Amino acid sequence: MAFDVSKVKVVNCPKCGVEVDVSAHKPLSSIECPDCGGNVAVPVRMGHMLLTERIGQGTAGIVYQALDTILDRPVAVKILRDVEGAGNERRTEDSNAEAQALAAINHPNVVRIHDIGAHRDQHYIEMELLTGGSVVDLVAGGTALPERRALEIALDAARALRAAHDVGLVHRDVKPQNLLLDGAGVARLLDFGSARFGEEEQEKLGVGTPLYISPEAVRQQPLDFRSDVYSLGCTLFEMLSGRPPFDGEDPKEICLARLKLPAPNLSEIKPGLNPKTVLLVVHMLRRDPDNRHGNYDELITEMQSALKAVEQAELLAQDPTGANELRKAAEEAALTSSTLTLERNRAQLDRIRTQRTAARLAGAIALVAFALLIGLILYFRR
């Protein structure tokens, strides 16, 4: 993807501050500082931004790490792709649509947008820079994540999607590449270039990425939030197993496979997963959207339940003795509570019996007194 930038001749080393001549080096590469040996990026200039490194690529464009020279802060800049046969007006509409989508969401699990603009007819979106990498880096080479970590990331993504849904957005391209991590490891959703407000008819060629696309997107049917749930399910499946549920060399066959076959059994691919986690993924990957979660609250509740079950299992595995002691203590507390309740019931019963005995005795005394009174009256009448 070519775009209009200019070379930079001299930059300052970020470590020692000395000026370094980079004019003879390849743009977007890095060299060693001749004075301190530190790493010096060879940037290119695009307006007020210095692009230093390509960090991502999506369906709508390429993302670069950059320096905003006006605000003097590191940022991420998404350079939008030219749509074949489309002019500048279409690119403006695309950049504005994504910017509006991002601006409509104010949520800690969604990447924040700083600015949108164009440099020599090349449209861009300037966003916050996240330093924790992406989920696609974590699963590179077929690596499966620890179960708890995978659920934590999926839960972050689900909360971001719920925030998008609350303003009427369907993302339509949920995948590991679009889940970045901040310095604390919190997942952030980005790339709303395919997002649309409300339920909309599919374009002729459909949207999404073959490995994560929903069956209804393959059929070019109207999409709603349940399509994003399916794509997130594919992402979670890959985080847990190290592979997407449907894979292959031919993108078309990958898409069609989910129309013909059920998702693979996750527990067979990755034995030892918590049953609640397995059922969660099964629920998310049901072919018929009507059989998936009815709303994001249901999805998040099931995710939290699975995460809690995994955390409890981890605690038990780490300290089975302590867990047993806690269980015994709970049983003893329950037994003590039952004993106290029984003793209270017995004391109350004793009080009732005493009260009844006293009442009977008082009645008998009253009856005797009454009889004596009658006897005295009869005696004196004689």
Ranges of H-type helices in 213-319: 215-218, 225-241, 251-260, 266-269, 275-284, 296-318
Closest-CA residue to 162 (of 150, 151, 174): 174
CB 111 within 8 A of CB 98: no
Q: How confident is the model at residue 85 (pLDDT cuts 50, 70, 90)?
A: very low
Residue 366, CB-side half-sphere exposure with 13 Å CA sphere = 6
| 246-289 pLDDT per residue, tens | 999 999 999 999 999 999 999 999 999 999 999 999 999 999 99
Q: How confident is the model at residue 367 (pLDDT cuts 50, 70, 90)?
A: confident
Mean pLDDT computed over 225-244: 97
Fold of 135-320: Transferase(Phosphotransferase); domain 1 (1.10.510)
CB 296 within 8 A of CB 170: no
Q: What is the pLDDT of residue 205?
A: 41
- Residue 15 to residue 38: CA distance in whole angstroms: 6
pLDDT above 70 for 324: no
* CA quadruple 249, 251, 253, 258: dihedral sign: positive
Backbone angles phi, psi at 122, to 5 degrees: -100, 110
| 100-155 pLDDT per residue, tens | 666 778 899 999 888 888 888 888 889 999 989 899 999 999 999 999 999 999 99
Residue 284, CB-side half-sphere exposure with 13 Å CA sphere = 31
pLDDT above 90 for 242: yes
Give the catalytic positions in this structure. 173
Which listed CATH number (2.70.98.20, 3.30.200.20, 1.10.8.60, 3.20.20.70) goes with 6-128? 3.30.200.20
| Fold agreement between 6-128 and 135-320 | no
Query: Structural domain boundaries of the chain?
Result: 6-128, 135-320
